[in-house]
Amino acid sequence: MSMGSLLQVQLQNIPASGWHWHGKFRAADLQDDSCGDIAPLPHGCSDADWDAVLEHKGGCYHLGGRWSISVRCTCCRCNSPVEHTISGNMTRVFRMGSCDDADSDDEDVLPLPGQINLVDVLREEIWLVWPQNAVCRPECKGLCPHCGADLNRASCGCAVDNEDHPFSVLRNIVKQ
């Protein structure tokens, strides 16, 4: 079986005992733009651990399991790269049929034969918990809001008045 076909599953082919995976998604696939429809991950991530079960229950297909991956994101204060390990529990429900049949927003309705791209599923799960507020270290001083200097390396000549004042951001906007 080629790597491509391992990453695509068809609900129609699922055995009564379901499908169980315990393995890894390659970083190269998660970062490959041609490997799915969901935005690829930025370079620098690890392979993802993936432990999941896909079962046919009550007319629906339940995909549940756990995943974890180390990703490279950016410090929200100074923009330097940060390695972050993220993980999640996923619970997805799929059904085969036409889109008009959807009972709720909680399930994905797929046309026959119910093709699922597992790379896209995992990418969606990862983007949902993508670290937005990561910091390179708790004491990171960030960039100067006036001149952009990295305050971790050097102080700049800008006045340091009211840095924490809630309206200091507005003041910057007015200046421009």
Binding region for Zn ion (CB under 5 A): 75, 77-78, 136, 140, 144, 146-147, 149, 156, 158
Nearer to Zn ion, 113 or 148 (CB): 148
- The minimum distance between CB 106 and Zn ion, in angstroms, equals 38
Nearer to Zn ion, 39 or 160 (CB): 160
> Rounded to an integer, what distance in angstroms lies between the CA atom of residue 161 and that of residue 129?
35
Structural contact between residues 52 and 68, judged by C-beta atoms closer than 8 angstroms: no
Structural contact between residues 121 and 92, judged by C-beta atoms closer than 8 angstroms: yes
- The minimum distance between CB 72 and Zn ion, in angstroms, equals 14
Helices (H), 96-167: 118-128
- The minimum distance between CB 69 and Zn ion, in angstroms, equals 21
- The minimum distance between CB 146 and Zn ion, in angstroms, equals 4
Peptide bond into 113 cis (omega under 30): yes
> Rounded to an integer, what distance in angstroms lies between the CA atom of residue 118 and that of residue 100?
24
Nearest Cα to Cα of residue 6 among 42, 35, 32: 35
Nearer to Zn ion, 53 or 140 (CB): 140
- The minimum distance between CB 45 and Zn ion, in angstroms, equals 19
Nearer to Zn ion, 12 or 155 (CB): 155
Nearer to Zn ion, 1 or 174 (CB): 174
Residue type, 6: L
Strand 60-74, strand 48-57: pairing: antiparallel
Helix (H, G, I), strand (E, B) or coil at 175: helix
Q: How far is CA 40 from its chain centroid?
A: 9
